[in-house]
Amino acid sequence: MTDPYDDMMNPNDDKMNPYDGISHPDGGITNPYDDIINLPHHTSTAHPNMSAYDRAAQFSPFAALTGHDAAITETARLTETKVELDEYSKADLNQRMCIIQERMDEQPKVSITYFQPDKKKTGGAYITAAGCVKKIEEYEHAVVMQDGTRIPIDQIIAIDGELFGPIDTL
């Protein structure tokens, strides 16, 4: 019985391997690349040489799912729900706003806690701004602090400060 693989080229056979040297009529053996092997290395005049760092970056792994890490981070980020104030709390905040308005030229220091809605998902965060109130914009329903922070009045949940001392004890 004959082996079906007998027809395949064996590297030890006397048959000519295309990658071996080629016999020249003058008796020397040449390689198919002898005509270019000793030429100088080509350097482009149109493109600058690439740095080793950039060359290595071509072979570095890539993110197959672009933005996937950012989406996971965004999903994991926690937000808080906005607390709805009852009528008593709203009346108390209104009274404190009136006191701030009356004593604005004294520049009392206050801390205002307000809800800032999240731009990407439902909910938001509670932020406390401390400092002096520059003005209260009744038309735009906002409190402007001296540092430029604008606080929407309908997002305020608490106002504290030394000028409210007698109110806090009630």
The number of CA neighbours under 13 Å toward the Cβ of 163 is: 21
**Residue 21 near residue 31, CB atoms below 8 Å:** yes
> H or E stretch including 72?
helix 68-76
Percent over 90 (pLDDT), the chain: 38
pTM value is 0.56
For 162, left (φ over 0), alpha (ψ -120 to 50), or beta?
alpha
Q: How many whole angstroms separate alpha carbon 9 and alpha carbon 14?
A: 10
pLDDT over 80 (residue 150) = yes
Residue 89 CB contacts under 8 Å (≥ 6 apart), including other chains = 157
pLDDT over 80 (residue 25) = no
- Using the 8-state DSSP alphabet, how is residue 62 labeled? -
Domains belonging to the chain, first-starting first, are 87-168 (2.30.30)
